Amino acid sequence: MCMASREFLKILSKARLGDVFAQQDLAKAYLTGAFKTPIQPANALIWLEKSYFSITNQKLKDENSYDSTMLNLMSQIANIPLAETFNSPAFGFGWDTSWRLVQEHTDSPSTLAAKWQLINLLLNPCNQDIQSSLVDWMRLKKGTSALEKYSSLDFIGLQKVAHEYLQELANGDTQFTHQAKELLIQLQPKNEVLSSLWNDWLKNQNEDALLQTAKLGMTAAKLALGLRLAQLRNGKEIKSNTSLKKAVQWLELAAKDGDRDAWYALGEIYRRPQFSGYSATESDRCFDHAADLGHAQAQLRKGANLWRKREKIEEKVRGLQASYWIWQAAQQDVLEAKKLLSKILVSCPNLKKNDWFDLAQCANHAINHHAEHKLGEEWLLLCHRIIIANQFNFSKAELLLCEVGQLQHEHCVVIDIRWKLPKILPRLIQIETTQQRRALLAAGKVFAGTDPDIEGNLRQRRYRFDQVTDWLSTTFSKNLKSQTDTELA
């Protein structure tokens, strides 16, 4: 078993003392595996419950701070996989909070995430054992006020509500749409005749059984029939346009059900020269649908296509769209996508090998003690710039001129300082660590509430940079060296 890291132990110590931010950071570590922490959603939920009561009991004086802190907390709770926390002592808290969130009737990310977690818990066939235990748990909990208008519903009633949410997510356009469509396919009515026909196809390759199953509406059968008609038979490629047309009919039916493999197969068929409906445009449209639904090869194909056409595509930063889709494919362990991504995005996850490391350590120390040292707002902003510069290995010009609030995209950081230095091309740098995301989040919050003109022009920024770096080195270098020596000892 790996020993807990020093950073984890520091956060744990603060969390035990009631620091709400540390408690949330600790929960995040249990969810993401940061600091080599074992992923344990149940423990994450326990610390989020503690954070909730800490915030409520402390009643932060700054109302805006209270609201933003609570909003961040609700976002974390909404993304906890409820099904994996059922035996946790904090499960009741997660259950109640999720229902409160879905009753807000908004399209906020937290509400949508809470809906999906309840759907997954109440409807997913993989959680049948938990659902059986949940029925007994609900009997004991009956009468709770958290469910409000749903408090009178039994388990079956809540499943119906969850099914409404599932249909809503499947028909929408959110991050959960693809998962919702896949779950709807799993929940399609299954009767003995359908199961028997499908099993006959799987075991005996009975084509009549496959055709009947597809006609009865099973998405997997529609896909299988379409692929069979479109691909190989008896070792020879089908050149009959009629067969390809029939294949397209069945694949389109499966695609309408939200099957990403069907969309991908349609894209391939529309590229076949022997198909009378040959259309490169329609092929790309189908591949795009498959990519949107999470098909890894389609995402790679879309990204690679965008990368080839990057000179002709009008976009603010060349290659940004391409890198996003290739990154999505790389997240699904597509080796070719990882290789291509390394050519597009700069990788610099090792802070100690990046520029500004020592200075960033001092800047971080200064931020943590800014009240004690009475740092002015401009100095505080520059400290955050130094930390970001170390995280992503910026040049000095990029450090001073980057627009911090516009740096972060889902998969990478975009540094574009052409507004001041037109000859310096934008750079795309991959976001690879939790530390990088945390630094961006912290800096983004600070810069969001400041006047854009407060940092002044380039000359003023350079002058302030010299002042701040001299002060940081003089004030904190010895302390940090002493701390490092102690840790090494």
Instruction: Output the pLDDT for position 54.
Output: 78
Instruction: Output the pLDDT for position 487.
Output: 41
Asked if pLDDT for residue 153 goes beyond 70, the answer is: no
Confidence of residue 232 (pLDDT cuts 50, 70, 90): very low
Looking at per-residue pLDDT, the higher value among 347 and 106 belongs to: 347
pLDDT digits (tens, 9 = 90+) for 425-453: 999 999 999 899 999 989 988 898 788 88
pLDDT cut 90: percent of the chain above it: 38
Looking at per-residue pLDDT, the higher value among 232 and 384 belongs to: 384
Asked if pLDDT for residue 475 goes beyond 50, the answer is: yes
Confidence of residue 354 (pLDDT cuts 50, 70, 90): very high
Instruction: Output the pLDDT for position 8.
Output: 79
> 288-294 long-range contacts, Cβ below 8 Å, gap at least 24?
289/255, 289/260, 289/263, 290/260, 290/261, 290/263, 290/264, 291/325, 291/328, 292/178, 293/178, 293/181, 293/258, 293/260, 293/263, 294/178, 294/260, 294/328, 294/332
Instruction: Output the pLDDT for position 313.
Output: 86
Q: Name the DSSP letter for residue 404.
A: G
Instruction: Output the pLDDT for position 267.
Output: 94
Confidence of residue 2 (pLDDT cuts 50, 70, 90): very low
Confidence of residue 460 (pLDDT cuts 50, 70, 90): very high
For the segment 95-113, the average pLDDT, to the nearest whole number, is 82
Give 408's strand partners: 413
Instruction: Output the pLDDT for position 422.
Output: 93
Tokens for 16, please give them: 């035990």
For the segment 10-39, the average pLDDT, to the nearest whole number, is 82
Which CATH architecture best describes the domain 192-343?
A: Alpha Horseshoe (1.25)
Asked if pLDDT for residue 145 goes beyond 80, the answer is: no
Instruction: Output the pLDDT for position 489.
Output: 36
Give 427's strand partners: 415
Looking at per-residue pLDDT, the higher value among 261 and 62 belongs to: 261
pLDDT digits (tens, 9 = 90+) for 355-382: 999 999 999 989 988 778 888 899 999 9
Q: What mean pLDDT is reported for the chain?
A: 85
Instruction: Output the pLDDT for position 67.
Output: 64
Rg (CA), the chain: 27
What letters, b where the CB count within 10 A reaches 16 and e where it falls short, cover 464-487?
bbeebbeebeeebeeebeeeeeee
Tokens for 298, please give them: 């389609």
pLDDT digits (tens, 9 = 90+) for 380-412: 999 999 999 999 999 999 999 999 989 998 899
Write the CA distances from 385 to 172, 360, 397, 443, 464, integer angstroms: 39, 9, 11, 8, 12
The amino acid present at 405, given as its one-letter code, is G
**What is the location of CATH 1.25.40.10 in the chain?**
192-343
Give 428's strand partners: 414
The amino acid present at 430, given as its one-letter code, is Q
